[in-house]
């Protein structure tokens, strides 16, 4: 594996790991049916604590990573900014508050899922490229070995002919 492939797979795996951390909140929003008040509050609290209030060095690092940083900047950051300052309260007004929080949370979770699928695609493409390069190298080695065997047989046949001609000229 080349350095470039190793860097791509390493970076992609790191980003997949960061997205896997968010699965606890994303699962509550995307895959749990029906979405309960507690699920929304848990996801809200998670994103508020880990993403909105994260140190600036982490967000700068995430922006610097590349394509994932672009998706983060254009899709996830506005949704994080749309989260209200306070968690929705329970009670009669909870339905409206939950809906106000639910839309940005769903956008964040959906973006994480799309990023995860894209990153898995990158890893699969890199694996396919590595496999094809290895296969190509193996075929080249087999061709070289076959060429060497043909040369060796020709030399042996030439030596055999020379021996037969020298033996026939001597007798």
Residue 108 lies in a domain: yes
Number of domains the chain is built from: 1
Q: Which domain holds residue 45?
A: 3-131
User: Which structure tokens are listed for 41?
Assistant: 């509050």
pLDDT tens figures, 6-58: 777 887 888 788 788 888 889 989 988 888 888 888 898 888 888 777 667 66
- Residue 17 vs residues 58, 108, 109, 131: alpha-carbon distances, Å: 15, 16, 15, 24
pLDDT tens figures, 97-153: 677 788 888 988 888 888 888 889 988 998 888 899 899 999 999 999 999 999 999
Residue 139 lies in a domain: no
- Residue 31 vs residues 38, 40, 66, 91, 145: alpha-carbon distances, Å: 14, 12, 28, 24, 55
pLDDT tens figures, 79-102: 888 887 777 777 656 666 677 788
- Residue 5 vs residues 16, 62, 99: alpha-carbon distances, Å: 16, 20, 43
């Amino acid at each position: 594996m080349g350095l470039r492939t190793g860097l791509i797979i390493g970076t992609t795996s790191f980003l997949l790991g960061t997205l896997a951390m968010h699965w606890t909140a994303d699962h509550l929003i995307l895959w749990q049916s029906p979405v309960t008040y507690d699920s929304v509050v848990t996801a809200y609290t998670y994103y508020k604590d880990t993403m909105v209030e994260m140190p600036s060095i982490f967000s700068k690092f995430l922006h610097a990573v590349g394509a994932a940083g672009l998706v983060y900047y254009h899709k996830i950051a506005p949704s994080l900014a749309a989260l209200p300052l306070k968690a929705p309260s329970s009670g009669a007004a909870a339905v409206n508050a939950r809906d106000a929080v639910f839309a940005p949370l769903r956008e964040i979770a959906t973006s994480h899922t799309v990023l995860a699928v894209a990153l898995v695609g990158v890893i699969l493409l890199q694996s396919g490229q590595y496999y094809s390069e290895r296969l190509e190298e193996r075929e080249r080695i087999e061709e070289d070995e076959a060429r060497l065997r043909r040369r060796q047989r020709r030399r042996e046949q030439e030596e055999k002919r020379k021996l037969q001609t020298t033996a026939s000229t001597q007798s």
